[in-house]
């Protein structure tokens, strides 16, 4: 499964803009609540794609698969997403 983290980051920055959180991002801090919400959605979507008929984990429910994602896997994805956010945000620092 290929993921374009820059596109996701740009979308998340638009959400942050609507929520008035770009100021926080511009000084180098990622708004935790928004980031956690987005990562939860992202992991759910990954699990759904892995459980469609014919997929590697088609006999699992996506809810079960999300729980089976390891912490190391989640941290790796969160790191890639954080780097993409910093790469695409307008920073003042």
Instruction: Give the domain ranges of the chain.
Output: 5-88
Element (H, E) at 43: helix 32-50
pLDDT of residue 1: 58
DSSP character at residue 53: T
pLDDT tens per residue, range 15-47: 999 999 999 999 999 999 999 999 999 999 999
Q: Is 20 exposed, middle or buried (0-12, 13-18, 19+ CB in 10 A)?
A: exposed
- In this prediction the pTM is 0.85
pLDDT of residue 91: 87
Joined together, the tokens standing for residue 66 give 């999300």
User: In the chain, where do the E strands start and end?
Assistant: none
């Amino acid at each position: 499964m290929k993921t374009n983290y820059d596109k996701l980051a740009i979308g998340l920055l638009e959400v942050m803009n609507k929520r008035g959180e770009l100021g926080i991002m511009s000084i180098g801090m990622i708004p935790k609540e928004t980031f956690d919400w987005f990562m939860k959605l992202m992991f759910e979507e990954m699990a759904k794609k892995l459980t469609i008929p014919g997929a590697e984990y088609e006999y699992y429910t996506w809810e079960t698969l999300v729980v089976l994602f390891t912490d190391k896997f989640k941290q790796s994805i969160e790191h890639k997403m954080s780097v993409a956010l910093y790469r695409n945000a307008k920073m003042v620092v």
